[in-house]
Structure 1
Amino acid sequence: MKLRDEMPEFTGVAEWVNGSVAKAELAGAPVLVHFWSISCHSCKETLPQLIEWRDQYRDKGLRVISIHMPRSEKDTEVGPVKEAIQQYGLTHPVAIDNNHKIVDAYQNQYVPAYYLFDEEQKLRHYQAGEKGLSMLAKRLSRVMGSEELA
């Protein structure tokens, strides 16, 4: 995806945890779409930061959607993914994308990966890997209209 591209639909999901989400329901709200995998150590290390942002900006309207992107056949086992969702406190909607339908729509290749959309559902920032979280924090702060850096 390129900056200013429109947010893709969330179709073809194998299973939703914590409620399903349709793109139309997100209109008018900034959205952070987060790709992760149960087999990714870096993904697990960055989850506390994701949860902090989710909680910090909840009252300002931020919606967080996580997409579980399996990287191997073992990653498609739904039970362990659901256990990890509970263990790490992912209380926001999580799509289990075993068929890579959302992964393909986003043209995503990496985990962790973050796609930040503004209220008009246009891509404002993309970040892959854990090393760029400070850049994502700055962009998130800007999109949320907050002066302080997350």
Structure 2
Amino acid sequence: MRASDASIAAPAFPRKLPWCNVATLRMDQQKGKVVLIEFFDFCRVNNLRTLPYLKAWHERYAEQGLRIIGVHTGGFPPARDEDKVREAVNRLEIPWPVVIDTNLEIWDLYGNQGWPARYLWTPDQTLFSMHYGEGAYAETEREIQELLGLAQDPVAPVRPEDAEDALIAPQTEDQPGAYSGPYEAGGVWAVVDGMGSIRVNGVEHTVLEPGAIEVLHHERHTVGELAFEVSEGVVVHATCFTPGLAA
């Protein structure tokens, strides 16, 4: 969504926040670059599903003047642990700078409202566009190209439901804990911590680290019933549902 006010200036990063992949970074030093700020939480399924597009944009446009900066603001308990955030950034092979915003300092400066959220800033550091949630990948990439003065086909959809003309059926809302019961979705994920295993509809999944793991995948939107079993040593913070193509 294009910014309604082209004069909104990029907030400075608060001092003394911890960073990954760089010692520290100042927003005012990014002038002349197109800057994409992405708010994320490594435990959130939506962020994991957005990550392939960010990596593709980084690979395509970093040398052309795009700077991606991740703002990690943890919503789930494991994502509020700095060491676990650093381990996740390394495990997920995120190559761009990430600032750890555990106390919501940057979140509040932006008036941010959820994950994922991306803010695209011009080389003059005025807000060009913003987007909440998954989707609008081709739209965002075309905006990046516009600011960089480039033109090429956007990255192909990673999943069928990411296509601009895809018909998506609404999925069940995320549920706290290890949810057992009816659901509708294209996929089911568990936000976990600890070490052990979970069994979902008879299929066992090993848990070795905090994060989100996919426990069921359907080719299209599906109506079903969940049965969760959780071993000792594992905490399930939430059961999350992702969209599927309308049947």
Corresponding residue for 1:79? 83
Corresponding residue for 2:67? 63
* More deviation, 125-134/5-14: 5-14
Deviations, residues 69-118 of structure 1 (Å, cap 9, x unaligned): 11134321112211111122212110000111101111111111110001
Cα distance in structure 2, aligned partners of 1:149 and 1:128: 23
2:3 paired with 1:6: no
Write out aligned runs for 1:24-103 (5 A). Answer: 24-103=28-107
Instruction: Say whether the 8 Å CA contact 2:74–2:102 is kept in structure 1.
Output: yes
Q: Normalized against structure 1, the TM-score is what? A: 0.92
User: By how many angstroms is 1:61 displaced?
Assistant: 1.2
* More deviation, 8-17/118-127: 8-17
Distance 1:39 1:3, change over 3 A: farther
Corresponding residue for 1:139? 143
User: By how many angstroms is 1:12 displaced?
Assistant: 4.8
Q: Sequence identity, in percent?
A: 27
Secondary structure (helix, strand or coil) at the match of 2:52 reads helix
More helix by share: 1
More strand by share: 2
Runs of 4+ off more than 6 Å: none
Q: Normalized against structure 2, the TM-score is what? A: 0.57
Cα distance in structure 2, aligned partners of 1:70 and 1:2: 28
* More deviation, 98-107/83-92: 83-92
* More deviation, 131-140/87-96: 131-140
Of the two, which has the highest radius of gyration? 2
Instruction: Say whether the 8 Å CA contact 2:70–2:99 is kept in structure 1.
Output: yes
Cα distance in structure 2, aligned partners of 1:29 and 1:126: 17
Corresponding residue for 1:23? 27
Instruction: Say whether the 8 Å CA contact 1:54–1:64 is kept in structure 2.
Output: yes
Cα distance in structure 2, aligned partners of 1:121 and 1:60: 17
Instruction: Say whether the 8 Å CA contact 1:3–1:125 is kept in structure 2.
Output: no
User: By how many angstroms is 1:2 displaced?
Assistant: 5.4
AA at the equivalent of 2:143 = R
Cα distance in structure 2, aligned partners of 1:18 and 1:2: 33
Secondary structure (helix, strand or coil) at the match of 1:57 reads helix
Deviations, residues 10-48 of structure 1 (Å, cap 9, x unaligned): 115631111121012101111010110022111011111
